Amino acid sequence: MANHTTRPGPATAAAATKSVRRNKIEPILFNTFNTLFMMGLVVVTLYPFLNTIVVSLNAGNDTIRGGIYLWPREFTWQNYKALFASGTIYDAFWISVARTVLSTLLNLGLTTMLAYTLSRREYVFRKPITLIFILTMYFNAGLIPGYFLMKDLHLLNSFWVYVIPSMISAFNMIVIRTYIGTISESLVESARIDGAGDFKIFIRIIFPLCKPVLATIALFVAVGAWNSWFDAFIYTSSRQELSTLQYELMKLLSSSMNANSNPAVAAGAGMTQDSAVNMVTPISIRAAATVVASVPILLVYPFMQKYFVVGLNVGSVKE
Amino acid sequence: MEETLVKDSAVRKPKKNKKITWAVLKEQRQLIYMSVPLTAYIILFAYVPIWGWTMAFQDYKPARSFSEQKWVGFKHFEFLFKDDNFLQVLRNTLAMSVINMILGFATAIILALLLNEIRKVFWKRTVQTISYLPHFLSWIIVTGIVATSLASDGIINDILMKLHLIEEPIQWLSEGKYFWGIVGASHVWKEVGWNTIIYLAAMASIDPSLYEAADIDGASRYRKMFHVTLPGIKPTIIILMIMQVGHILEAGFEVQYLLGNGLVVDWSQTIDIFVLKYGLAQGNYSLATAAGIFKTVVSVTLLLIANGISKRLGEERLL
Amino acid sequence: MGGKKKSVFRFSMLLLLSLGLVLSACSGGNIKEAAKNGNNGQATEENTTNGVEPFEISVFIGEAGQQPTPDNKIYKLIKEETGASFKFEFLAGDIDQKLGVMIAGGDYPDVMTANQKLTAAGAFIPLEDLIEEHAPNLKKHYEKYWNMMKDPNDGHIYNLPNYGVTNADVSSSWYSGPAFWIQKDVLAEAGYPEVKTLDQYFDLIKQYKEKHPTIDGTPTIGFEILNYDWRNWGLFNAPQHLIGHPNDGGVVVKDGKAEIFADKDYAKRYYQKLNEMNALGIIDKEAFTQNYDQYMAKISSGAVLGMFDQHWNFQDAENALITQKKDNRTYVGLPLVFDEGIKDHYKDRPALNLNNGFGITVNASEEQQVRIIKLLDTLIQEDWQKILSWGIEGEDYIVENGRFMKTQEQRDVFTDATWKLANKADAFFKHGPKTEGLFSDGNATDAAAQPEEMAAALREYDKNFLAQYGFNTYVDFFSPAPENDIAYPAWSVDLVDGSEAKMVNTKQNELSTKYLPKAILAKPEEFDSVWDEYVNEIRKLNIKAYEDRINEVLQWRKDTWSVK
């Protein structure tokens, strides 16, 4: 950590004038450079997303030719129509919303609580429990053992398989733990003197103070839950009503890639110019699917941003 | 004495070495209730399925029950290590991981520092939001854009030729020596914005009085960045680095698979691609499990080493 | 604190809301579950008009696909007449992973599309007795192929092949298989010559490219090669055809013996030709670094003069050309060989599609097994086959003088994937047993093979083009398919997961991917050394294991399949 604690002494007059002079030119140079750099960054990072939106609005047949950059050459809603045609998307959307909200809330609550206990130096089990959790980041038991576990726990083909196995993440826990570490001990001390137990301290004092880090973790968890499809694929695929948005989009994408290996479908025989335009191709479906999947989550982030101003400090355990 | 909520943690009580007695357990029972059930939970979901690691020592066939499996000892490990390509594949994986890590950290930190210097809140938030948009695109889309940009008539060659740096377009994807750089650059492009989130949040918690003090001392923008901001987020950086070191064998496979081709295959194959080809695709779960065990052993070893080094240097530590 | 109370309130509202959603999803599912009753197939409370007992069949399809709409007219009809309704599940990720967990957990639905992993795992029940007892129509349908359907390991029949049971040699108007493709304009400009050999082919391309260095502003590409992801035949497969052999996968079968062709001299001859062409600038410089999308983009720009590929692989690009009204830039397939004396064997008679089609799993109750086999028996009858293939008379096709035809409108909707979800039973029909060839009234079973349809579907340009050659369809460019070897094709031989043979095959493909591009792009004087290195690497592998496995199965097929 940087040094501080006491206010520095007044600078000499000479240094003051020198710095005033330097401070006139310097910010301008710096700001110009920074602004130019940021504009470049914006262009480079905005382009792929814009391009994806454009491709999603372009006729699949035409996109194949390449050369679509920032404007659709043959505008069409067909790709989006194809996404919503099968109707399974609507239910899947709500399932995704439900799992995202639940996952986020559960994670925030439980992980923070755990992080609090592990931030208490005096806790006898602190080291072993920390180790147990950290190690989980570096191994994976495998697909089949995991499947057996879900089966034995009756989580197969159940909504809860989306939420229960992923309620705590070691990474998030570390982030929160170190943030809690920066909260002044004296607050906890005085609460203890007043007779409060750890749980009360956690709920009344620590948790409300963690808003900034909670916002960050909420974002990470929400994005993760929203984007996941693999669990739907392995654990709940035989129940269509439990499908998630991402999984539905994956299915759509895969089936459009599959469509052309069926000769009868692909035959150009009898096709006119008009009907050809209605064809969707994997590229255009993928673009539309990406837009549909990302937009909801992108709307969440601006709400989170305001918490970052208050402050978050990810540090570590210091002796 | 200052009673700020977020305070420098330099002043700490010395660590207590509590002996585990019934009295202590009773005293800390709330902490225990708050953490031990969750530990049991993670043991159930992460550690119990580890019995599946025995698959690595069998010729696992999903159809047979556990007792019917054939035991083959270290056969799969031998296959993995003795394969002609193994060392090469390992080299590729490590190289790309290290490059990604270094580039990833450097760019994210620099970008975070620069973003922090943007004065206008609106502009700052906008740039930040746009910069992480690529994170939401799938690798399929991103590599598609990368491939198009690197083509002979793509934008990269275009610019280089216009600047008279080269005379003929370079076939970027046909030269193995460029491959690692291309993968690294693609990673940065996709993830730099997202990676800054944690750093920005950390920066917001740096004591403003430090900046005031630096101003009075006549520090330029650069010096403030290096002497106030950077040290302020150093703990974050170190913790994230230690955790990342453990993931060194996770170079992934999607990017390399999508961008790779026959001409660069000696540089593009990673462990995961290798395991996919000879493991799952051949119904060989045992090989996949063996590779997983290998990765875990390496990860945990490196993690403990990194943590130890950091501790020795007096810096932050994870455990 | 007001703020805290508010956030607690918001917190609990969110919690309630999500719980509500979850409960409705769960309970909704539970009620439906109770009503349908999963694998037991017990009757629901609904009544049908025909008094037929309704039952549901759960089906897992091992490839991607979309759910048919709930009001799909064909499935509705099936339900009315037979009581059967389907609950489909499609694959959307990696099949190996999905099958792995399904097998490990023994979690199968009633019916699954066949897969060698499943058969090996004992997931399917033997069908021959069921068919003999309950499904006379199916027995008749498969009679000729009965022995071929038996599993080599234990002689049982585990799945019902969905393609390959033909009753007449009817050729479709559309050639879907592998060939050397050439842009129609190249032939047109050269005066519609007959092109039989590889050298003639490249000469034409060379000439055309010299005359037209760019096409519509894009630099002309003489010959394109794709090797991306699993699409590797464009690079690997040509040599076997050039010596007059059909597609046997990675081997050539001479006198009943299979051997790989990758290291043979005739393969060398082909790649050396490509190397020469590359030196002349005919080959696309980016052929080996491009991905599939880029390949398609180049073809659909009309600037590619030729490639070796399978038609369905680039059909989308051709459609794009058609949309741009560039018919002259679409392609015709040529069955090239090395020298005039060799007879081309590209077009082959469809072989029985083994290890594909439906199988009934061990999880289906006995009652259910019988119901399913009886249903399949019903649906293989001609009336149903007409409905499944052509559609409903009057709605999807018209009959003129006893001949089935379509209006232009009807043809158009057939290419609309969304329309099909509501009007065709493709999910079932694609994998179900089907009659191929002709119906008893002489109409083709497949609309694409109906002569009137083929004629009506030709565009002006194509009509003229074909007239120049005196052909009726593009398939006429190919020699008619000779009778298949009993054991044909070799590519359908199961290499057995985890075996030496399969591993050798993977490694060999890897070597081909690595060395062939190098060989083609090398300077002509360096070609021999690269090729020798390649062949040496191949010889280091245990190729014998691979060849032995194939020969083993081919021999078994010869022994068992000739017994009728």
Rounded Cα gap, residues B221 and A58, in angstroms: 46
The per-residue pLDDT of chain C, averaged, comes to: 85
For C177-187, b/e burial (b = at least 16 CB within 10 A) is: bbbbbbbbbbb
CB A311 within 8 A of CB B5: no
Range among A64-78, B229-243, C3-17, C324-338 with highest mean pLDDT value: C324-338
- Mean pLDDT over C433-444 rounds to 88
Q: Look at residue B84 in the predicted model and tell me its pLDDT.
A: 82
Nearest to C311 by CA among A286, A269, B294, A24: A269
Contact between chains at C288 and B265 (C-beta distance less than 8 A): no
State pLDDT tens for residues B89-115: 999 999 999 999 999 999 999 999 888
Q: What pLDDT score was predicted for residue A13?
A: 53
CB-based contact A66 C297, cutoff 8 Å: yes
- Determine the distance in angstroms separating the CA of B39 from the nearest CA of chain C, rounded to an integer: 24
> Quick check: B244 contacting A, CB < 8 Å?
no
List of chain B residues whose C-beta atoms are within 8 Å of the C-beta of residue A203: none
**pLDDT value at residue C420:** 83
Q: Cite the DSSP H helix spans in chain B.
A: 22-27, 29-42, 75-82, 86-116, 121-131, 139-150, 155-162, 176-203, 208-216, 221-224, 230-245, 254-259, 265-268, 271-278, 285-312
Answer with the residue of higher pLDDT: C562 or B153.
B153
Cβ–Cβ gap C25/A258 under 8 Å: no
Taking contacts as CB-CB distances below 8 angstroms, the residues of chain A near B227 are: 2
Most confident segment among A26-40, A91-105, B233-247, B251-265: A91-105
Contact C288 B174 (CB under 8 A): yes
Q: What average pLDDT score do residues C171-191 get?
A: 88
Alpha carbon A212 to its chain centroid, in Å, reads 16
- Inter-chain touch B317–A148, beta carbons under 8 Å: no
Q: C211 vs chain A: nearest CA distance in angstroms?
A: 24
- What values do phi and psi take at C463, rounded to 5? -60, -45
pLDDT at residue B45 above 90? yes
Arithmetic mean of pLDDT over chain B? 85
pLDDT for A3:
41
User: Crossing angle for the helix pair A88-119 and A245-258, nearest 10 degrees?
Assistant: 130
- pLDDT tens by residue, B196-220: 888 887 776 677 788 888 888 888 8
* Number of helices (H), then strands (E), in chain A: 16, 0
Question: Which of the four pLDDT bands, split at 50, 70 and 90, describes residue C65?
Answer: confident
More confident residue, C165 or B8: C165
Which residues are within 8 A (CB) of C442 and not within 5 positions of it... i.e. 6 or more apart?
Answer: C402, C403
Q: Tokens 């072989």, residue?
A: C351
Residue among C482, C486, C494 nearest C564 (CA): C486
Q: Compare CB distances from A168 to B42, B227, B289 and report the shortest one's residue.
A: B42
User: Pick from C26, C91, C415: which is nearest to A279 by CB?
Assistant: C415
Residue A267's pLDDT is 39
| Closest chain A CA to residue B230 | A2
Contact residues for A37 (Cβ-Cβ < 8 A; gap 6+):
B114
- Are B113 and B225 in contact by the 8 Å Cβ rule? The answer is yes
Q: Establish, for the pair of chains A and B, how many residue pairs have beta carbons separated by less than 8 Å.
A: 303
More confident residue, C116 or C520: C520
Render each residue's pLDDT in chain A as its tens digit; 319 residues. Answer: 344 444 444 555 555 555 555 556 777 888 888 889 999 999 989 998 899 999 999 888 788 787 788 888 888 888 888 888 777 888 899 999 999 999 999 999 999 999 999 988 888 899 899 999 999 999 888 888 999 999 999 999 999 999 999 999 999 999 888 778 777 788 888 888 888 888 888 988 888 888 778 888 888 899 899 988 899 999 998 888 899 998 988 888 777 776 654 433 333 344 444 455 556 778 888 889 888 888 887 887 777 776 665 433 333 233 2
ipTM over 0.90 threshold: no
Does residue A27 have a cis bond before it (omega within 30 degrees)? no
C290 interfacial to chain B (CB closer than 8 Å): yes
Residues C274 and C192 sit within 8 Å (Cβ to Cβ): no
CB B256 within 8 A of CB B183: yes
Query: Considering only CA atoms, which of C100, C104, C105, C123 is closest in space to residue C113?
Result: C123
Range B23-27 average pLDDT: 86
To the nearest whole percent, how much of chain C has pLDDT over 90?
46
Identify the pLDDT of residue C189.
93
Q: CB contact, 8 Å: B49 with chain A? A: yes
C-alpha C318/C-alpha C304 separation (Å) is 11
How confident is the model at residue B8, as a pLDDT?
Answer: 41
Burial of C400 (0-12, 13-18, 19+ CB in 10 A): exposed
| A1, A5, A186 ranked by CB distance to B3: nearest | A186
* Res C557 pLDDT > 90: no
- Using the predicted structure, report yes or no on whether residue C77 has a pLDDT greater than 50: yes
Give the DSSP H/E element, type plus range, for residue C285: none
Nearest CA in chain A to C294: A66
DSSP per position, A191-230: HHHTT--HHHHIIIIIHHHTHHHHHHHHHHHHHHHHH--H
**How far is the alpha carbon of C120 from chain B, nearest alpha carbon, in Å?**
8
CA atoms within 13 A on the CB side of A53: 11
Residue of A85, A147, A238 with shortest CB distance to C109: A238
Which one of B6, B148, B285 would you mutate to disrupt binding with A, by most A Cβ within 10 Å of its Cβ? B6
More confident residue, C499 or C103: C103
- Alpha carbon separation from A26 to A193, B111, B147, C168, C510 (Å, rounded): 52, 19, 40, 86, 58
Interface of B with A in 201-220 (CB under 8 A): 201-202, 204-207, 209-210, 213, 216-220
Chain C, nearest residue to A97 by Cα? C18
Rounded distance between C-alpha atoms, residue C378 and residue C384, angstroms = 8
CA distance C297 to A62: 9
Q: Which residue has the higher pLDDT, C284 or C217?
A: C284
The pTM score is 0.82
CB of B35 less than 8 A from some CB of A: yes
Chain mean position to CA A159? 21
For residue A310, the model assigns a pLDDT of: 42
pLDDT for the residue numbered B49: 92
* C-alpha distance from residue C96 to each of A156, A163, B271, C4, C433 (Å): 19, 25, 18, 50, 25
C359 pLDDT band (50/70/90 cuts)?
Answer: very high
Alpha carbon distance A88, A244 (integer Å): 10
Looking at residue C50, its pLDDT comes to 56
pLDDT of residue C492: 82
Of B35, B220, B292, the CB nearest to A140: B292
Q: CB contact, 8 Å: A66 with chain C?
A: yes
Q: Is B134 on the interface with A (CB under 8 A)?
A: yes
Give how far A241 is from chain B: nearest CA, Å: 25
Tens of pLDDT, residues C133-164: 999 999 999 988 888 888 878 889 999 999 88
Distance CA B128, CA C99 (A): 43
How many Cβ pairs closer than 8 A exist between chain A and C?
A: 212
| B246: nearest CB among A138, A178, A184 | A138
Report the pLDDT value the prediction gives residue A318, as an integer from 0 to 100: 32
- Nearest-Cα distance to chain C for A260, in Å, is 6
What's the gap between Cα C282 and its chain centre? Answer: 31
**Does B22 contact A at CB distance below 8 Å?**
no
Put simply, the answer to whether B282 touches C506 (Cβ < 8 Å) is yes
Instruction: Tell me the per-residue pLDDT of C453-466, one tens digit each, with 9 for 90 and over.
Output: 877 777 888 889 99
Mean pLDDT within B127-132: 88
CA distance A92 to C231: 33
| pLDDT reported for residue B206 | 74
